[in-house]
């Protein structure tokens, strides 16, 4: 169900007419869940659940649930738990509304209110503890990045919308055996592998968490340590799912998030992925014929390449372009360091 409003209704999110329509549909259905593709305020969520007599979750809760299912490492679990607690804290009041109505007289505290305050305190303490643990993770990552910086090895961060094939590409390039599935946010924790470029230069290739439109603030905060990996990169490898009907919008989302992180000017190679899925299934396509045909359609942007990570098409060309972009970045610093050396 879609409704166009200048702004969501303060207490019900939906306008009255659309809400009445939803209530009517609810009476004639056996649904057990309604998902809103936006972030609801605690008040909106509570009001809607009372009116519809059904469990309601919003976009943020759905994303956090997917994250929780995919978290594997200690860091990933910490990040998800932190975001979940930050999301839950302002929504606790509705959980105890049935007890608050039992509240005592003047000057007393009802059982619901005291329980609510206790729960809020417990969650605040948990958030404080998780923040300290994540800060330790962040310090560890900073030391790790400092060691990499001293080594002088260039870093390439793979970025892109979720489910565009980033992990499949990392596996194709480095035999990393990273989980690669047709799922949202299959990767939550960055994985770094060594890669040799055509000129035999060694680089570090890092797979990062996928981006998504309207990424919740709590998620961005919780994954700050992970996103900082991107800021340290010499160059970005932006993977775009060319088969998605929202490819342009998804690409813009990545651009916007990079801008929010202050990284919009970082050198970038764009790889248009899954080209094998664009081709006629009734014809036999090989890499040479497919790339020849599609490159003719793609134009001549020197930093954009066509690839199929699944079939390993176009990877040689992609690495050559990446090699050139990295050389353009490292050459000035090498020149500067040589000028500073004593004669």
Residue 4 CB neighbour total at 10 angstroms: 6
Mean pLDDT, rounded, of the chain? 80
Does pLDDT of 126 surpass 60?
A: yes
- Indicate whether 333 pLDDT > 60: no
**Average pLDDT for residues 318-339, to the nearest whole number?**
75
Note the pLDDT of residue 221. 67
Mean pLDDT of 247-253: 89
- Dist CA 27 CA 339 (whole Å): 77
| CA separation for the pair 68, 76 (Å, rounded) | 9
HSE-up of residue 235 (Cα within 13 Å, Cβ side)? 23
pTM across the whole model:
0.74
Overall average pLDDT of the 5-21 stretch: 93
Specify the pLDDT at position 111: 52
Cβ-count burial 318-335 (b if 16+ within 10 Å, e if not): bbebbbbbbeeeeeeeee
CA gap 232, 100 in Å, rounded: 50
Q: pLDDT-derived band of residue 332, with 50, 70 and 90 as boundaries?
A: low
- CATH T-level fold of 152-336: Rossmann fold (3.40.50)
Between 333 and 192, whose confidence is greater?
192
Measured from the Cβ of residue 82, the count of other Cβ atoms closer than 10 Å reads: 22
User: If pLDDT is split at 50, 70 and 90, which confidence band does 312 have?
Assistant: very high
Is the pLDDT assigned to residue 334 strictly greater than 50? no
Looking at residue 230, what is its pLDDT? 84
Quickly state the pLDDT bin for 299 (edges 50, 70, 90): low
Nearest to 177 by CA among 165, 164, 163, 191: 191
User: Which pLDDT value is given to residue 343?
Assistant: 44
Query: Rounded to whole angstroms, how far apart are CA atoms 277 and 6?
Result: 39
Say which residue, 170 or 101, is predicted with more confidence: 170
Written as one string, the DSSP assignment of 125-147 is HHHHHHHHHHHHHHHHHHHHHHH
Q: What is the pLDDT of residues 206-229, one digit of tens each?
A: 887 778 887 777 677 666 666 777
pLDDT band at 330 (very low <50, low <70, confident <90, very high): confident
Residue-wise pLDDT tens digits, 59-106: 888 888 887 887 777 777 888 888 888 888 888 765 544 434 334 433
**CA dist., res. 39 & res. 35, Å (int):** 10
- The C-alpha atoms of residue 274 and residue 31 are separated, in whole angstroms, by 36
Decide if pLDDT at 125 tops 70. Answer: yes
Higher pLDDT, 58 or 290: 58
Strand-pair partners of 269? 237
d(CA 300, CA 268) in angstroms, rounded, equals 16
What's the pLDDT score for residue 16? Answer: 93
271 pLDDT more than 90? yes
């Amino acid at each position: 169900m879609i409704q166009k409003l200048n702004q969501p209704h303060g207490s019900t999110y939906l306008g009255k007419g659309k809400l009445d329509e939803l209530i009517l549909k609810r009476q004639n259905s056996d649904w057990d869940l309604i998902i809103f593709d936006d972030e609801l305020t605690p008040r909106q969520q509570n009001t809607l659940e009372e009116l519809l007599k059904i469990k309601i979750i919003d976009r943020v809760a759905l994303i956090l649930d997917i994250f929780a299912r995919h978290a594997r490492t200690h860091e990933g679990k910490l990040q998800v738990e932190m975001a979940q607690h930050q999301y839950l804290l302002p929504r606790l009041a509705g959980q105890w509304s049935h007890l608050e109505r039992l509240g005592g007289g003047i000057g007393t505290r009802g059982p619901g209110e005291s329980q609510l305050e206790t729960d809020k305190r417990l969650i605040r303490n948990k958030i404080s503890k998780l923040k300290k643990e994540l800060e330790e993770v962040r310090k560890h990552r900073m030391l790790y990045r400092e060691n990499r910086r001293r080594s002088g090895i260039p870093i390439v961060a793979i970025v892109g919308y979720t489910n565009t094939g980033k992990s499949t590409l990392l596996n194709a390039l480095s035999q990393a055996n990273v989980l690669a599935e047709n799922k949202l946010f299959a990767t939550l924790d960055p994985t770094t592998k060594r890669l040799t470029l055509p000129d035999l230069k060694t680089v570090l290739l890092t797979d990062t968490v996928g981006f998504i439109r309207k990424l919740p603030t709590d998620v961005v905060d919780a994954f700050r340590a992970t996103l900082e990996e991107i800021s340290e990169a010499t160059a970005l490898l932006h993977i775009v799912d060319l088969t998605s009907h929202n490819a342009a919008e998804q690409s813009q989302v990545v651009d916007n998030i990079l801008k929010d992180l202050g990284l919009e000017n970082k050198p970038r190679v764009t790889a248009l992925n899954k080209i094998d899925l664009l081709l006629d299934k009734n014809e036999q396509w090989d890499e040479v014929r497919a790339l020849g045909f599609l490159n003719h359609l793609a134009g001549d942007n020197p930093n954009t390449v066509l690839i199929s990570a699944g079939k390993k098409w176009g990877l040689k060309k992609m690495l050559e372009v990446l090699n050139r972009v990295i050389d353009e970045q490292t050459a000035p610093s090498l020149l500067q360091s040589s000028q500073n050396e004593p004669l």
